[in-house]
Amino acid sequence: MASFASSGTTIDTVINVRDNLIFTISSMNPPQPGHVGVLIYEMMKLASRTGEQNVYVFFGSDKYDSIDYPLSCEDRTIVLNFMIDYLKRNDTTVAGVNVIFMYEEGKHNGLLYFRDKINQYFSIAPGKTKQINGFFVAGGDDRLAMINSVRSIVRPDLRQHFNNDIEQVHLLRDESRNQKFGEGSFDPRDLSQISSTIVNKFVDSRNYDAFAAIYNGWLPPDGIKWLWDRLTAVRGKGPGTVSGADATFPSMFTKTGTVMGHNPNIGGKKRRTIRRKIKTIRKRRTNKKRKTVRRRR
């Protein structure tokens, strides 16, 4: 099981709310600034207004290396966290809100995984269940099917714990974005126009400049290049591919960190400490040998 919070926050594997559960269910594959600047941002602002510390993103699929799901959950989390950090630097009012990504190996359906986690939340302390005042699911009108499914997936006996009905967090989306893309008037600075579909279209047409324009500022240059290489490797295999990129394609996780920065769980001071210990051990061994030679003399 794995769930990752944005940098500098605590990693959780269970839902933890004060009064309001704020979440969305989406694959975000490939991730793009619209996911952060529109979808996640609206959740963070709502959390800030209601005094919540956490908002949750349930990934819709753990499948990857295919034309439809090119990135693993870990790689998506890294890309999204870099963009979330950029957002927090530009709006300090949401800096205290944690974005927690929830997913689990083998759970290919985000709705079913959400059902498991909400059931877990209410089963931790039977008879002493905390009430949830607000139950908010974020998504545009194009995600109404998902929102209605959330309503139906929560068991009737659990709904007694919600003081209010499930509410939709409405998003500002440009519904004419695909038309604008076709007409050549697409604006990469307008987050309401960006979608994963448009990102993929730039990849398929090998238009790197337009692709990079979407991510400029949100990701460092080497991160943009990594994402481009990954998507072109996968989508270049063509429709219907089962395993897109080669298994040897480098993940954003490397032995020394990530492509876009140091991985705090690997390397760093710990590695330097190990090197120092090795040097200390070698010195001790050398000194012992010298003392032994002196005694023999």
Model pTM?
0.74
Architecture of domain 2-178: 3-Layer(aba) Sandwich (3.40)
pLDDT of residue 163: 67
Alpha carbons 31 and 207: distance in angstroms, whole number: 18
Mean pLDDT, the chain, rounded, equals 74
pLDDT of residue 273: 34
pLDDT tens digits for 203-256? Answer: 999 999 999 999 999 999 999 999 999 888 888 775 555 444 444 555 554 444
Count Cβ atoms below 10 Å from residue 162 Cβ, excluding itself: 15
Helix (H) / strand (E) element for 135: namely strand 134-138
> In the predicted model, is pLDDT for residue 266 greater than 50?
no
> In the predicted model, is pLDDT for residue 259 greater than 70?
no
pLDDT tens digits for 189-216? Answer: 888 888 888 999 999 999 999 999 999 9
Answer whether 230's CB lies under 8 Å from 249's CB: yes
pLDDT tens digits for 113-170? Answer: 888 888 777 776 555 556 677 778 877 766 777 777 887 777 777 777 776 667 777 6
The domains of the chain are located at: 2-178
Tell me how far apart the terminal alpha carbons of the chain are, to the nearest angstrom.
Answer: 63
Average pLDDT over residues 17-30: 86
Average pLDDT over residues 58-69: 70
* Cα–Cα–Cα angle for 56, 113, 195, rounded to 5 degrees: 55
Residue 146 CB contacts under 8 Å (≥ 6 apart), including other chains: 25, 111, 137, 139
Q: For residue 268, what pLDDT band results from cuts at 50, 70 and 90? A: very low
pLDDT of residue 153: 78
Average pLDDT over residues 4-32: 71
